[in-house]
Amino acid sequence: MATEHVILGSQFPGLKAKPILLSFSQRTSHAQLLNALAGELQIQPRRHAWLTHETVFKELLARPRDIHLDGAHHLTWKALEVLRDLWDETESEGPLRTLRIVMIGKKGFVRKIAEKHPQLADRAHIFRTPEVNE
């Protein structure tokens, strides 16, 4: 099956901290995404998503790392926006290069992002793996 990759932060070498690896197999909201990130960072999720967001943001600034998201096509629009916000807030495009986000989704994921999240697509390196006939 062909997959599509959307990568924020492909212009720098791998970060030294252990990467965060998350996999999604069903629709995932922004709060669920933040809770999963908090869990991987060994942070207690907060009662409100915005508080969890702030805690995750501070941890990512303190300890830069890669985030790999398999099944990213299951993320809601707001969850994708949270990823873009984390990318922007950590100034990962600038000299700090704090965060690299690798999103892997099924065929059509790139088109979905380009149509609904052009500001995310503008920041990303996009590539597709070819379909393999068996």
Residue 28 belongs to what domain range? 22-95+114-134
DSSP conformational letter for 73: G
Q: What is the pLDDT of residue 37?
A: 95
Query: Is the residue at 90 inside a domain?
Result: yes
Query: Is the residue at 28 inside a domain?
Result: yes
Query: Is the residue at 5 inside a domain?
Result: no
Helix (H/G/I), strand (E/B), else coil: 71: coil
Question: CB-based burial of residue 41 (10 Å sphere; 0-12 exposed, 13-18 middle, 19+ buried)?
Answer: middle
Domain count, the chain: 1
Q: Helices 77-89 & 49-62, crossing angle to 10 degrees?
A: 40
| pTM > 0.85 | no
pLDDT digits (tens, 9 = 90+) for 102-122: 899 998 888 888 888 888 788
Query: Is the residue at 68 inside a domain?
Result: yes
Query: Is the residue at 74 inside a domain?
Result: yes
Query: Is the residue at 47 inside a domain?
Result: yes
The token pair that represents 86 in the structure block: 């984390």
The token pair that represents 109 in the structure block: 């994921």
Amino acid at 46: R
The token pair that represents 125 in the structure block: 């390196």
pLDDT digits (tens, 9 = 90+) for 37-63: 999 999 998 889 999 999 999 998 888
**97 phi, psi to nearest 5 deg:** 45, 60
